[in-house]
Structure 1
Amino acid sequence: MPAPDDRYSRQTRFTPIGPAGQQRLAQARVLILGCGALGSAVAEQLCRAGVGHLRLVDRDLVESSNLQRQTLYTEDDADRALPKVIAAAARLRSINAACIIEPIVRDVGPAEIAGLLTGCDLAIDGADNFALRHLLNDACCRSGLPWIYGACVGAYGISLPILPGDGPCLRCLQDQLPAAGDGPTCDTAGIIAPAVHLVAAWQVAEALKLLVGDRARVRRELWASDLWAGTFRRLGLVGARDPACASCGPSPSYPALNAPPDPAITLCGRDAVQVAPSAAVRLDALAQRIGTAVILANDHLVRWRDGALTGTCFRDGRVIVHGVTDPVRARAFRDRWMG
Structure 2
Amino acid sequence: MRAAVIHGERDIRVEEVPDPVLATGPGSSGRDAIVKVVASCVCGSDLWLYRGIEPTERPHRIGHEFVGVVEAVGDSVENVTVGDFVIAPFSISDNTCFNCRNGVTGQCLHGGLWGVGTKEEGFADAGQGERVRVPLADGTLVVVPGGNPDPALIPSLLSLSDVMATGHHAAVSAGVQEGSTVAVVGDGAVGLCAVIAAKRLGASRIVAMSRHQSRQKLATEFGATDIVPERGEDGIARLKEMFDGIGPDAVLECVGTKESMDQALSSTRPGGQVGFVGVPHGELPVGQMFGTNVGVRGGIAPVRAYLDDLLPDVLNGRIEPGKVFDSEVSLADIVDAYKAMDERSAIKVLIRP
Give TM-score, length-normalised by structure 1: 0.29
More helix by share: 1
Highest RCO, 1 vs 2 (Cα 8 Å, sep ≥ 6): 2
